[in-house]
Amino acid sequence: MEQTNKLFCKGGGCTAKLGPAVLERVLSRLPKPTDEQLLVGCESSDDAAVYRLTDDIAVVQTLDFFPPMLEDPYLFGQIAAANALSDIWAMGGTAKTALNIVCFPENMDLNILGAIMTGGSEKVREAGASLVGGHSIADSDVKYGLSVMGTVHPDKIRTNNTCRIGDCLILTKPLGVGLIMTANRVGQAKQEWFDAAVQSMTTLNRWACEASMPYEVHACTDVTGFGVLGHLREMIQPAYSAVVRADSVPMLDGARQCAEEFLLTAAAQRTRNFLQGKVRFAVDDFALEEVLFDPQTSGGLLMSVPERQAEALLAEIRALGLRCGIIGSIVPRMDCDIIVTK
């Protein structure tokens, strides 16, 4: 779709998230729900809430919205919708309905809003869900996303903190979109880097989730604004650690080069500071560190699966055309939460 005007992107997508330290401090002070039918709330940093309706049906509820990370409104709408829908699949659910969340300046060209919402609508349809309304407010800056409702069987919920020792960690999309979008804003991203990043962000996690359904996925999350290390840390229980093998981490072409040129995001530095003392790098590679801290917008799923099933599941995900990899494993407790090795 032809671009109708500039969105004046200053740094959006999941880089706009509040830092994990701020969220942890605020959320820890909120009262905890006591409804016994609430199967998953905010106590585990999970991707969505899950509420049981019957013995066979639970509702999965989530929302996500953010400012633009690129100038094309249609692509922005697609990416924002794909990102919001992702939380349903991270929980092992099926997307059913979605509501638009819109913040838009009253004096801006409405064709831009139309392009954003068209992109979002197309991704909702691709997800097999129905777009059923939404809410909009006048704002000084553009923001867009979705509130999404899905369903899951109460016995088949995938939470993010139920890894087991010996599990392999499968990442279903390559890292580096935050770095490449930063480079693009200052005119230093090659077109092929930008195009590959957009293709990754607009790819629904539905397909990887559905491919994984026959397998024993012990835990799952999607990788967004806290980077792969921030979201992996949320998966680690006190008795466990995770070992990440750097050579196995899928990366977008250009991501390492952007890090080497210090085209970094503030969000990655907030996560780096938050994880100080929780992550140990056994490799001396600054660019690698930045890729692992890099905030992902509409990133892939991070699944914890039994070692005996990991290669078969990886092959199925690769058959979908996704750049994925077995990036590490869950091990008995070591000296910190995550150790990054070669």
Q: Which residues are catalytic?
A: 14
Using an 8 Å Cβ cutoff, are 168 and 231 in contact? Answer: no
State how far the Cα of 112 lies from the Cα of 74, in Å rounded to an integer: 8
Q: How does DSSP classify residue 29?
A: T
- 153 among annotated binding-site residues: no
Q: Is 17 annotated as a binding residue?
A: yes
Strand partners, 243: 329, 339
* 19 annotated to a ligand binding site: no
- 153, 58 in Cβ contact below 8 A? yes
Q: At what angle do helices 286-293 and 227-235 cross, to 10 degrees?
A: 60
In the chain, DSSP finds a helix count (H) and a strand count (E) of: 11, 13
Task: Specify which residues 301 forms β-bridges with.
Answer: 222
Contact between 267 and 297 under an 8 Å Cβ cutoff? The reply is no
**Which H, E and C letters describe 242-279, residue by residue?**
EEEEHHHCCECCCHHHHHHCCCCCHHHHHHHHHCECCE
What are the phi and psi torsion angles at 241 (to 5°)? -135, 165
Please give the helix or strand (H or E) that residue 205 lies within, else none.
Answer: none
Whether residue 222 is annotated as binding a ligand: the answer is: yes
Long-range contacts of 229-232 (CB under 8 A, 24+ apart): 229/271, 229/275, 229/279, 229/292, 229/293, 229/338, 229/340, 230/20, 230/271, 230/274, 230/275, 230/293, 231/160, 231/302, 232/169, 232/302, 232/338
SS3 call for 330: strand
Would you say 285 is a known binding-site residue? no
Q: Pull the structure tokens for residue 53.
A: 């309706």
CA distance 41 to 60: 10
Is 55 marked within a binding site? no
337 a known binding residue?
A: no
DSSP SS3 for 59: strand
- Ligand-binding site membership of 298 (annotated): no
* 248 is an annotated ligand-binding site residue: no
Binding-site residues sit at 17, 44-47, 64, 87, 134-136, 222
Binding-site residues for Mg(2+) sit at 47, 87, 222
Binding-site residues for ATP sit at 17, 44-46, 64, 87, 134-136
